[in-house]
Structure 1
């Protein structure tokens, strides 16, 4: 009797570690949580959610699907696989947000505003202020649409399809990451297209002015015209970021659901 109780306790302890690992890596990659929340709060949140989810997950498992781990090496391999699954769900959404920030990079470099760079806390790299503003905008849209709930729902679906300790990594996961990388870059280019078109037209106008009136300081005039055109068109087009992001976010979660 004592041996059976001890075996049950150890099996559920391993199950708790695996659930905690998958959930923790998801929270680390989740927008607005992985960076903006202190580490102690994230750890407490991960432990609390794992304790709440453990009874539901264990009830769905049978004796044959419980994680069967005999040594430390098997446990480390299982933990690594669980971490990859949780990281996958958060990474595909983060790739979409990073792709949207590409619009700010393109607009700032084309408009000659590279001097306004600042440290981005997510990527730990210098990023234009406009790109950071777009990142904060789409992150706010993500929270407003309930994206964090969709990510947790995707996590629960993954537990039903791939039980803890029985994770199988396949080519579809890498294909999903590559697809979302291309989709994010495409979304950023679509967002930046109106501003880039306006800047191209202003450069053409500046070129015509320089040919007509060669005595003017075309460099100073061109920079001022580019700055005013960039700010005006960006103010009119920035609202499209929420529409593009929300549409692509729905597609992301549909692809994650099909992946399981």
Structure 2
């Protein structure tokens, strides 16, 4: 009773159904953690159609599931007696995936804020345009910085780094056995600070050049009051901004690589 014979083997139907149910729950939890990571991940979270993102999440889940199953003890899986138990487990997994993706997204957002600071200081606010990925108004320089650092992330293998961090997270925090700590909130605050610092480092040379050009324009206006300072000042500011930005835009990639490596070290320390 409860057994089925196939050839010389005997399969316990109760054990088989329990094994299938455990792996179904594990697959849902892995898919949730991976999906929220992809949602927060640069270059994938925005600009990629929902269908493509869903198929990518399902495909990667099938690839990761054997490795995660070998790392996850059966007793760590939640006992699903009610739908609310599964909902709580899914919410916990989603927060962990969001944490991993947000560590990189906060750096890129901070560097884009540096581009917005350059635009505001240079008086180029009229150059704002609708960003096709976020559907929001964003200065062209901020979009340029965002595209540059996203390209650098893909070129240096940042997407593979995030997948490795995701797999490592299942070792320290098995699926269904997620525990939150104050160190996670500290990590988010540290990454927010690191993103703002990276934005200041990107904008500092250009803003310094713009302040210097304003000082020169002020001295010229005091020496030659008959000159139209407004027209000359705007031209000098735009020229200074473009020259210095063209010379220092390559530093965005180097700054991002440093911050990405530091974010990976922080996450590894957290796990």
Query: TM-score under structure 2 normalisation?
Result: 0.93
In the alignment, which residue of structure 2 is the partner of 1:66? Answer: 77
Between stretches 14-23 and 57-66, larger displacement belongs to 57-66
Secondary structure of the equivalent of 2:76?
A: coil
Q: Secondary structure at the match of 1:34?
A: coil
Q: Does 1:253 align with 2:264?
A: yes
Tell me, what secondary structure is at the counterpart of 1:127?
strand
CA distance in structure 1 between the partners assigned to 2:132 and 2:169 by the alignment: 29
Post-superposition shift, 1:55?
Answer: 1.4
Q: Which of 43, 49, 52 is the equivalent residue of 2:54?
A: 43
How many residues are matched?
A: 260
What is the deviation of 1:63?
A: 2.9
- Match of residue 110, structure 2, among 94, 99, 102: 99
Q: Write the deviation string for residues 29-48 of structure 1: whole angstroms up to 9, x where unpaired.
A: 11111113211111111111
Rounded Cα–Cα distance in structure 2 between residues aligned with 1:168 and 1:211: 65
Structure label with greater radius of gyration: 2
* Equivalent position to 1:164, from 175, 195, 204: 175
5+ residue gaps, structure 2, are 1-11
Q: For residues 39 and 133 of structure 2, what CA distance do their matches in structure 1 show?
A: 11
Q: Which of 145, 154, 157 is the aligned partner of 1:146?
A: 157
Shift of 1:122: 5.2
Is 123-132 or 197-206 further displaced after alignment?
A: 123-132
Partner of 2:3: none
Q: CA separation in 2, counterparts of 1:109 and 1:185?
A: 16
Following superposition, the deviation at residue 80 of structure 1 comes to 0.4
Q: 1:45-91: per-residue Cα shift (whole Å, max 9, x none)?
A: 11111111111111223332233332111100000010000011111
* Partner Cα separation in structure 2 for residue 121 and residue 80 of structure 1: 30
Q: Distance in 2 between matches of 1:5 and 1:187?
A: 53
- Structure 2 distance, partners of 1:187, 1:61, is 37
Gaps of 5+ in 1: none
Specify the alignment match of 2:34 in structure 1. 23
The one of 209, 217, 222 aligned to 1:211: 222
Taking structure 1 as the reference length, what is the TM-score of the superposition?
0.97
Distance 2:150 2:218 in 1: 39
CA distance change for structure 1 residues 71 and 6 in 2, over 3 Å: closer, same or farther?
same
- Post-superposition CA distance 1:86-110 (Å, at most 9, x none): 0111111000001111121111000
Matches within 5 A, 1:105-184: 105-121=116-132, 123-184=134-195
Query: Are 2:229 and 1:185 aligned?
Result: no
Is contact 1:100-1:185 (8 Å) kept? yes
Distance 2:157 2:182 in 1: 29
Classify the secondary structure of the residue corresponding to 2:75.
coil
Contact 1:68 1:165 in 2 (8 A): no
Please, which of 215, 228, 231 is the counterpart of residue 239 of structure 2? Answer: 228
Query: 1:54 aligns to what?
Result: 65
Contact 2:36–2:94 (8 Å) recurs in 1: yes
- CA separation of 1:121/1:158 partners in 2, compared to 1, >3 Å: closer, same or farther? farther
